[in-house]
Structure 1
Amino acid sequence: MHETNKTTIQPNKQQLLNRLKRIEGQVRGVHQMVENDRYCVDILHQISAIQSAMNKVSLALLEDHTHHCVSSAIKGNDGEAAIKELMDVMKTMTK
């Protein structure tokens, strides 16, 4: 995992946190399904729902990042670095 020392204010922080809490609950539910020997296909459906929800969180963060961080960097003449960073993230997300 790659981390930087950069920080930002998340404009949709509460929405993201709410989504992540729901996902956390879904993951706990899958854990219980496995513990309770639930049908594999039912577990796989829940995992698929979790992956879809995580993709939505990623896209929401990506959109916020583009509208705020990348946009500000372009206005501040640091656009090339911000675009490179954005493309690197996109490449990671689409692996």
Structure 2
Amino acid sequence: MSHPHRHATHPRMVARLKRAEGHLRSVIAMIEDGKPCLDIAQQLQAVESAIRNAKQTLIHDHMDHCLNAEGDPADRDDLKAISRFL
């Protein structure tokens, strides 16, 4: 069984994603309530930005803390694998 994989940035990422979740619920309610498209698009942009920032934080944190500085080939493969999400 694998051990928990946590970094110092994870609590901030969780908070950011929970805010995005709240924004997304608002977007759904706005659509169901027939709110103006401009207002909906603005909220969707906020959700998209929050998720993009969380993803970038995760990837940068992974690069900073998880990759072996000794140049292990497995680390290069790991870097290649995660970089496709940029």
- Structure of greater relative contact order (alpha carbons < 8 Å, 6+ residues apart): 2
> How far has the Cα of 1:69 moved from its partner?
0.6
Match runs of 1:42-57 below 5 Å: 42-57=39-54
Paired-residue identity, %: 28
Match runs of 1:62-73 below 5 Å: 62-70=59-67, 73=68
2:76 to 60, 83, 86: 83
Aligned length: 85
Cα distance in 2 for partners of 1:22, 1:43 equals 16
For structure 1, the 5+ residue unaligned runs are none
**Counterpart amino acid of 2:23?**
Q
Cα distance in 2 for partners of 1:6, 1:47 equals 35
**Counterpart amino acid of 1:38?**
K
> How far has the Cα of 1:10 moved from its partner?
1.9
Alpha-carbon displacement from aligned partner over 1:40-81 (angstroms, at most 9, x marks no partner): 1211121111111111001111111011111xx333x5x322
Match runs of 1:1-95 below 5 Å: 7-70=4-67, 73-75=68-70, 79-91=72-84, 93-94=85-86
The 10-residue stretch of structure 1 (44-53 or 27-36) with the greater mean CA deviation from structure 2: 44-53
- TM-score w.r.t. the length of structure 2 is 0.82
- TM-score w.r.t. the length of structure 1 is 0.76
Cα distance in 1 for partners of 2:45, 2:76 equals 31
**Counterpart amino acid of 1:62?**
I
Cα distance in 1 for partners of 2:38, 2:51 equals 20
For structure 2, the 5+ residue unaligned runs are none
> How far has the Cα of 1:32 moved from its partner?
0.7
